[in-house]
Amino acid sequence: MIARRRLLAGAGLAVGGLGLAGWRALAAPAGEFVLSGRQCQGGWLRGLAPPGTRRLTLDGQVVAMAPDRAFLLAFDRDAAPGARLVAELGLGRELVQPLAIAPRHWAIEQIPLGPPPGAPPNPEFERRRAAERAAIEAARALDHGGEGWRQPFRWPVAGRLSGHFGAQRIYRGTPGSFHSGADVAAPAGTAILAPADGTVILAAREAFTLEGHLLMLDHGMGLNSALLHCSALLVDVGQKVRQGEVVARVGMSGRATGPHLHWSLKWHEARLDPELFAGA
């Protein structure tokens, strides 16, 4: 029970290699998972699958595994409190690792009014928006097999955090969409650095309606960054970038009230908290 308590206590704290009594019996000949990371909503785990693992699944979904058996998992902002990681070892044998995912307390603001009036229907906006969404989805489907996901991430811009991931307004009981990234306030023109190695998968030279000049980087293993509201994009689609390389400049293109960088991270469909990747 000690190990179990350690997992549950891992609310946003780093967890080291695990030795859970609960699955040791199942593990016997094949070894164990090695896991480390931030095991909470919006967080992530890097791991090493036991020797002999043929396939890895998380709640039934296949998880990619590198040739050295390393892998990445990440947990959506609204992830359930538990998940089941399974290594299939062949001959019907499997190693089951239950994961406790600590809930977070998001900044929720109750607004005693109805939602702000949306813009009146605008067919031109809807048409553009559909094309922009399609471009973002197509970019996110690209996987260049990079290794950036293995690195400790760094902040793309140093500055005051002006908006935290996960914050949400609720309008008289109706939730608005939550804040999907971390905002860093910085003067227009400030250099934006690649938070980790990656490949450019989208560079919106024509500003998108909401994101403005948007730059997206694939860090491999289904993990990607989106850097929003840029004033300039300094790299092109298909280009490989190194962690710390200047890739864009801060701006306020798209829907922004002042110059800042909005940095989003996604692992497949899971929306993640950049603060848990790059530190406070």
Interface contacts to Zn ion, rule CB under 5 A: 163, 183, 262
CB of 260 to Zn ion, least distance (A): 7
Position 132, amino acid: E
* Nearer to Zn ion (CB atom), residue 220 or residue 259: 259
Query: Which is it for strands 108-111 and 168-171: parallel, antiparallel or unpaired?
Result: parallel
Minimum Å gap between C-beta 179 and Zn ion is: 6
> CB of residue 229 vs Zn ion: minimum separation in angstroms?
8
DSSP of 61-76: EEE---TTSEEEEE--
Given the complex with Zn ion, which of 183 and 273 has the nearer CB atom?
A: 183
- CB closer to Zn ion, 97 vs 180: 180
* CA–CA gap between residue 10 and residue 43 (Å, rounded): 11
CA angle 119, 113, 178 (to 5 degrees): 65
Phi, psi (deg, nearest 5) at residue 8: -65, -30
For residues 23 and 106, which CB has a smaller minimum distance to Zn ion in the complex?
A: 106
In sequence order, what DSSP letters do the residues of 108-125 get, joined into one string? EEEESSPPPPPPPP-HHH
Residue 128 exposed, middle or buried by CB count within 10 Å (0-12, 13-18, 19+): middle
DSSP-derived 3-state class of residue 216: strand
CB of 54 to Zn ion, least distance (A): 41
Measured from the CB of residue 163, what is the shortest distance to Zn ion in angstroms? 5
- Minimum distance between the CB of residue 162 and Zn ion, rounded to whole angstroms? 8
Q: Which residue is nearest to Zn ion (CB)?
A: 262
Of 185 and 234, the one with the shorter C-beta distance to Zn ion is 185
- Residue 144, CA distances (Å) to 45, 130, 140, 224 in order: 21, 25, 11, 11
When the beta carbons of 213 and 262 are compared against Zn ion, the nearer one is 262
